[in-house]
Structure 1
């Protein structure tokens, strides 16, 4: 089974919905990762603010940070190899890596129909 690890910069939350403005890229990544985790795939995110030891323990991550600095974050590893520096994997990449249909990584919209009892 494939393993994906993402090393995030220091974030207050991984979803992108905290703070004064919503980051749609963080929201997309959080949604895709949540869906993949629920399907049982090996996918992890580490936050520099709350899990600095994960960064220090990984020689490949430490090397990238020493060479390119903290602006190189986020860093994505696939099966122990650095594959993306300075960005997150696209849904297309994730679907390819985990052999999924791209539609499986999209958030399902909830129908909040207020006419649930058939009243008009």
Structure 2
């Protein structure tokens, strides 16, 4: 899943999270379009007993299609592996599987942190 010679941005989200669908997904798409050195990986994590189908995950998009690939994990195994604090949760990794930054949120403060983190590594990956 991780791309060689790219800054890998993983977004963990859930369809029931309004911050995810209203802010994080649009931001992830925008960043993916802006930065050629960025590889975006979006993962929908299921929690509790609710299991979202592919159609339910896509229901938040106009036209029922996502402009970016979305992976679905049956439960929240990867989410737990990365010690996520909630959804949305962002993880920046290099191609050596090293975590460079990891943080929670979609509001302005989290968006600024994410932008600074990407800018920090731009010279290395572009």
TM-score (norm 1): 0.46
Q: Which has the higher contact order (CA 8 A, sep 6+)?
A: 2
Query: Looking at CA atoms only, which structure, 1 or 2, has the larger radius of gyration?
Result: 1
TM-score (norm 2): 0.45
